[in-house]
Structure 1
């Protein structure tokens, strides 16, 4: 082929290639992957950032890393590997979403109005509102979790509640050694308390005047009606009796205790927590109230309903210049564990600091053999008879310390001064009213009530409890200095007591 011809052919081939390249367009590049849920994840991240900046976080339930739309408590954490089958998994995950929605609602309500308005203005469709946008995103992200086996497995792994003990503090405080004198101190307190409970009721000293605080005088449901409500509430794939709303209030009213307080000063009057214009939260004794909530105990393969009552006092006044336990605000927490038939099986009590955990079994609860250890396991200052219907439990409370001194079934003579307390849902403490229509939680984002720190924290820190003695939010009550124990642990009761839930009594035993 001639040289000129060859050059012409090469030119034609080059021109054709250029033409084809121009027609084909730029080189192919894969389109970037678009996360269909990025919008919702960004919304939760934005809300969380504002909540953290304004210091209005709620610590009752634990946030789940990697799942900003879900939170977990110790009950649901105990089901994380046991919830099997599509219905159970969906119900379990749905309750996680509900925990987040409830806490998030309180957090947003407690935001300063400008911060809340700014969040609402950032919603792509302002007319829908922030609450509606969050609800839609809750549903969207939850559906994605349930549809993805990998994501669901990751959720099971992450749905845990860390305990309220600091291992670092225990290491720094030489816990294996320092726990020994602490355990000895606990035993001394238990012996002294047992001596008080051993006194005849009429022999208990009175430093001021005995004042009754009784629940509202309303018609009470029968045990049969209570059993029906509990049974209906437990008709879910996990068998958890989630009694809520008015049904919970009715059950709480049926088992609410009578408080008989030795009133030696204003700090011994129960009241309603409130925020003054300045300073820490206070308790208003002019509005006596007891706050109730539901909790749950896992016993074998069943889940039992528990009713929890909290009474608040203005303070624990000092008994001397070096009273490490004195401080602002104090309280008493009383819990009733119910059988499915509505009869109390066992009672227990703490203070809102998590301190002074006492158990009061009935004949349907038999203590299990305690492990051989110096750990705080179970202190039973008094056993109780079966509670007749509609008999109320009466709590005798000491002045100043607000220690329990006795539990009995019949109130003292009616000649003692008395008053009625209001029965309020514990959740109202997450949104206490402020002037100008705003609100603020009683609890800080760390779960503590600000201003209730005790001097004991400088001495007791080696036991690993953060801020010992301070008042705490539900879900944050570590109840043992020696050992590890949490008031809301769903297995707490079952580990320490054998319960009869079929209505019979255990035979008499010398283990009591």
Structure 2
């Protein structure tokens, strides 16, 4: 009972933090008081945000910038803020990226609310341009404010006596790491589950081009649509999944009307591999990343009191690419942000890490960077969907027995069709998928992660229970690896 009480108090603290009003800070707070075009525009955005919040369609991918709620920021753009300070031209391009992020997010939010017609969207674009001219005088304040809030709750950690309890959690993490290395080793020489595996491939020229941010003046690499489609197809992994039932068959996320409510489920008749682009810093350069996501209907219960079981499960597989399009590092998590593993290639080396209690670089296996005619194969366990091993093999091996995966833009999950018409994000305004909660949240909350084990949206993946680490942090790889010339 005491645990539930503490969790409720921590949740209230989180809710209070999430409810901070981005219109309460300068300069927008002052503009709201003005009786001119700037004041009208500030009030227009505030009214628009009230409509979105009333409809419950707020998108958690990128938060609004406090004091500048007509702009949004993610961790990559926050990292680029210092580069934007190098000159007026760079500052304008960075600002334009913040504005575009808000425009894209707001269109999705309004579309899910059924209010994305031209009469609503067009005035917002006009006002954003007007506010941009005024923002030139607030450049320093904007760079300081354009930060992504931490996905850890200091309040939950305080309630959970984190300085003390983290030691027990750290011991559990070290035990899991040893067990994971043992499993990868066991599956290295032989595959005991090979006769129970179903193979999935990305077959044929699908030419899928995911959304890509291109800011060459600020250092982000330029990639043409055709080149990007080629890279997506080239680096898409082949999956070999130990299959005990439908919960081990990958599919598309869909909204379904179930007996008591609408819920997000998985359509296994549509085998899908979702793709997202991103960027990281490594060796003083910005590099392209491709993240592939596969979803399952559930992690089925393995025992009477299974803390980790629940609706929905999956795997995210990320490829960090060199400038020539070859793989440098692989890493992976589940959609809850759990089980962060690194699989570097021979083209990088790990930096020496400071020993301590916090979770750091966990290399579970090295993997040879595949040639153009080779592909990475991932072996996944039944039920848990844990990655058991990754291998590099020639394309075409056993592909005649494989099921073909369709490639889709991961951003489609922000606006899925509803059974009765309209659209809705798979993710709630807090970035979590409702109905995918795990019992482990009642035990892991002292580590400061809201609803540990629950499936969550890109940008909301905290990947360390002890310490602080985010999957989309573009400085992560520079801390862990170096790229020899």
For the pair 1:53 / 2:37, whether they are aligned, the reply is: no
- The question of whether the paired residues in 1 share the 8 Å contact of 2:255 and 2:416 is answered with yes
Offset, 1:247: 5.1
Q: Distance in 1 between matches of 2:226 and 2:56?
A: 31
Change (3 A) 1:245 1:69: farther
Deviates more, 1:297-306 or 1:348-357: 297-306
How many residue pairs are counted as aligned between the two chains? 446
Change (3 A) 1:159 1:368: same
Structure of larger gyration radius: 1
Q: Distance in 2 between matches of 1:233 and 1:458?
A: 38
Deviates more, 1:369-378 or 1:470-479: 369-378
Offset, 1:162: 1.2
For the pair 1:260 / 2:240, whether they are aligned, the reply is: yes
- The question of whether the paired residues in 2 share the 8 Å contact of 1:173 and 1:461 is answered with yes
Offset, 1:321: 0.8
- The question of whether the paired residues in 2 share the 8 Å contact of 1:233 and 1:243 is answered with no
For the pair 1:141 / 2:131, whether they are aligned, the reply is: yes
Map of 2:230 onto structure 1: 250
Offset, 1:436: 4.7
Map of 1:5 onto structure 2: none
Alignment of 1:433-512 (within 5 A): 433-500=417-484, 502=485
Q: Distance in 2 between matches of 1:220 and 1:312?
A: 21
Q: Deviations over 1:402-460 (max 9, x none)?
A: 00000001279628842001000001101101135400100010000111110000000
Q: Distance in 1 between matches of 2:314 and 2:135?
A: 41
Q: Distance in 2 between matches of 1:331 and 1:241?
A: 29
Q: Deviations over 1:262-299 (max 9, x none)?
A: 01111000000000123320001000001001111012
TM-score, normalisation: structure 2? 0.87
User: Over aligned residue pairs, what C-alpha RMSD do you find?
Assistant: 2.3
User: Which of 205, 210, 214 is the equivalent residue of 2:192?
Assistant: 205
Q: Distance in 2 between matches of 1:323 and 1:420?
A: 32
Map of 2:413 onto structure 1: 429
Question: Helix, strand or coil for the counterpart of 1:37?
Answer: helix
Change (3 A) 1:59 1:377: same
Change (3 A) 1:475 1:40: same
- The question of whether the paired residues in 2 share the 8 Å contact of 1:275 and 1:432 is answered with yes
Q: Deviations over 1:313-366 (max 9, x none)?
A: 000001001110011000000000001111110000000000000000111111
Q: Distance in 2 between matches of 1:472 and 1:177?
A: 28
Map of 1:20 onto structure 2: none
Offset, 1:236: 2.4
Deviates more, 1:402-411 or 1:332-341: 402-411
Map of 1:166 onto structure 2: 153
Q: Distance in 1 between matches of 2:472 and 2:249?
A: 27
Q: Distance in 1 between matches of 2:441 and 2:93?
A: 41
Q: Distance in 1 between matches of 2:187 and 2:252?
A: 32
Question: Helix, strand or coil for the counterpart of 1:335?
Answer: strand
For the pair 1:406 / 2:406, whether they are aligned, the reply is: no
Deviates more, 1:310-319 or 1:240-249: 240-249
Question: Helix, strand or coil for the counterpart of 1:82?
Answer: helix
TM-score, normalisation: structure 1? 0.83
For the pair 1:66 / 2:67, whether they are aligned, the reply is: yes
Q: Deviations over 1:459-509 (max 9, x none)?
A: 000001111000010000000001111000001011011123x5xxxxxxx
Offset, 1:202: 5.8
Q: Distance in 1 between matches of 2:277 and 2:309?
A: 29
Deviates more, 1:249-258 or 1:343-352: 249-258
User: Which of 154, 161, 179 is the equivalent residue of 2:141?
Assistant: 154
Q: Distance in 2 between matches of 1:360 and 1:406?
A: 10
